[in-house]
Structure 1
């Protein structure tokens, strides 16, 4: 019932637009795309979502036959942009990067998220990035055991930074606290690009961040744990949490979404383009170099996967007494 008052004018406007030549306001889905596309990133420049989009930009332009620009709308851990997407003209000329578990956890845990998970129309999930726990290279915490021991000695005093509230980094921190029996304070930033300087500047004790930071930051950081079941190729020298007795496997799944009323014909064209560029050996190699994991989930599979993860997270928060 909370959205009924908002839906009435939206539905009326949709009917009027349809009467005037279709939801796209005169655009023909069969001819899409006929002009440049804006690929919006819901975080600051410099993070994994931005890096992914930059790698995709040229092959995506080739696949779609039109210019693709990249813009940024950071705020509230992505919620600002995703809320705006639900009110954006559904013509396919604004597409937006989205992240799981962010788009699940924000509406689940925040009354002011401004959107519901199902309002974001899934196009494709194209990569995932596991969490890592990292400290500065000169940190006194040389191992995960060191970090856990310090956290137990000072409950709540240790700060762990990450990208956004109720994000993969946030839930990774909550899982670490739960599994290790510690209490740390999670500090959210508008994106990885903002979180990294906080770590390097000594404003937080550690970051729950993503695998690409290992190659990007090099010897500026020390990795205490990687949140994968098995060691990733190229990261064998960095122990997983599970190898150290902590059952923590978590990360972010990245994809792209469009406004809820976007015609299926446009969604399918976009999905086909993302599927095509994921088959590009050069892009696959670039993803590998950045320590991304290639994923291929079209609209239906991405939506189903999102619902599966939603059930998992809901169960977790119920167990933690947070719902």
Structure 2
């Protein structure tokens, strides 16, 4: 009897050990609601695009997704804890470039770029310079002239330190021959609020901020290759004589312990949403530029971005 009891207990433990692997099989994933962590405050581009995804998630995944916020240190606080989460696929996290390349170059932020496991980058947003609608600055040149006469007095609110906004501000200073001051906030929402509240003279934010704030903000220039259809009257930096093109890629990442088939399944879900006509319309109407960098393309894409942003960081003194 004792032997039977031991045998039964052993079999039970063996079954328990197998159960997590079965639960993580891509064939029946997901079979319960998922959690989507945004590493910034509510109201920014990461949040807005995730909310658009959330509206389509159940149709394409078969389950709902719940959004949570873990803002702090320009995203680093959440990214440094990503690999502590169970890798069963049921918790995913928003991830941004160049943040996750530039932050570790600057110093110890609790994670390295290669510690993270992005599975899909689904959109891109160019940088832009904004001022309040009643600002004294009507053109980019007027802002530049003021900055040259008042070194350091032009303050730019932006989303996070060592972010696309921060890199854009540094490129602007170097290219325009001025000295400005970057003021990092925990996300786009708070940084735009700072501009609207005249806590800073201007904002180096993402172009989508114009869609969210309407006539309350004036966009002086956008860091895209060509004028954006949603903002035909706003000149590019290149048009104005400044070789500045840049912005942020946003996607989703999973803990490093997540099995390969689950990583691909999550990428497939995001790709299906990215092709959904309702989602496409919401994103394009909001000023987002859709991308579709799937999990199978991730190694080459991340390698390319590491090279590109690392060189840019060196030229601007980041991590020196």
TM-score w.r.t. the length of structure 1 is 0.91
Q: CA offsets per residue over residues 38-61 of structure 1, 9 Å max, x none?
A: 001010011111110110113122
In the other structure, the counterpart of 1:84 is: 81
Task: Output the aligned Cα RMSD.
Answer: 1.8
Q: Deviations over 1:287-321 (max 9, x none)?
A: 11000001001113233222212111211222233
Q: 2:28 aligns with which of 24, 27, 31?
A: 31
| Partner residue in 2 for 1:241 | 237
Residue 62 (structure 1) aligned with residue 34 (structure 2): no
Contact 2:40 2:69 survives alignment (8 Å): yes
Inter-partner Cα distance in structure 2 for 1:137 and 1:58: 32
1:94 corresponding residue in structure 2: 91
Measured after TM superposition, the shift of residue 19 of structure 1 is: 11
Aligned mate of 1:225, from 221, 230, 235:
221
Q: SS at 1:126's partner residue?
A: strand
Per-residue CA deviation, residues 37-86 of structure 1 (Å, 9 max, x unaligned), is: 00010100111111101101131222111121011000000001111112
Residues 63 and 246 of structure 1: is their aligned pair in 2 closer, same or farther, counting only changes over 3 Å? same
| Residue of structure 1 in register with 2:111 after alignment | 115
Distance 2:18 2:307 in 1: 36
Q: CA deviation at 1:261?
A: 1.4
Cα deviations by residue, 1:104-143 (Å, 9 ceiling, x for unpaired) = 11111122x1111122112111111111100011111111
Runs of 4+ in structure 1 deviating by more than 3 angstroms, as ranges, are 22-26
Partner of 1:107: helix, strand, or coil? helix
Question: What stretches of structure 2 of length at least 5 have no aligned partner?
Answer: 1-13
Structure 2 CA distance for aligned equivalents of residues 242 and 23 of structure 1: 57
- Asked if the contact 1:161–1:206 (Cα under 8 Å) also holds between the matched residues in 2, the reply is yes
Residues 52 and 22 of structure 1: CA distance in aligned 2, closer, same or farther (over 3 Å): farther
After TM superposition, the structure 1 = structure 2 runs for residues 231-310 of structure 1, keeping only pairs within 5 Å, are 231-310=227-306
Q: Is the 8 A contact 2:24 2:262 kept in 1?
A: no
C-alpha spacing 1:310/1:191, structure 2 compared with 1 (3 Å): same
Moved more, 210-219 or 262-271: 210-219
Cα 1:20–1:140, aligned 2, differ >3 Å: closer, same or farther? same
* Structure 2 SS opposite 1:244: coil
- Residue in 1 that maps onto 2:161: 165
- Contact 1:143-1:224 at 8 Å conserved across structures: yes
Please tell me whether the aligned partners of residues 23 and 91 of structure 1 are also in contact (alpha carbons under 8 angstroms).
no
Q: Distance between the aligned counterparts of 1:110 and 1:300, measured in 2?
A: 30
> Take 1:23 and 1:109, find their aligned partners in 2: how far apart are those partners?
42
Contact 1:173 1:186 in 2 (8 A): yes
- How many residues get paired? 306
For the Cα contact (< 8 Å) 1:47–1:193, is it kept in 2? yes
The Cα of 1:25 is off from its aligned counterpart by: 6.7
Could you say if the C-alpha distance between residues 302 and 232 of structure 1 is closer, same or farther in structure 2, counting changes exceeding 3 Å? Answer: farther
User: How far is 1:219 from its partner?
Assistant: 1.2
Q: CA deviation at 1:23?
A: 10
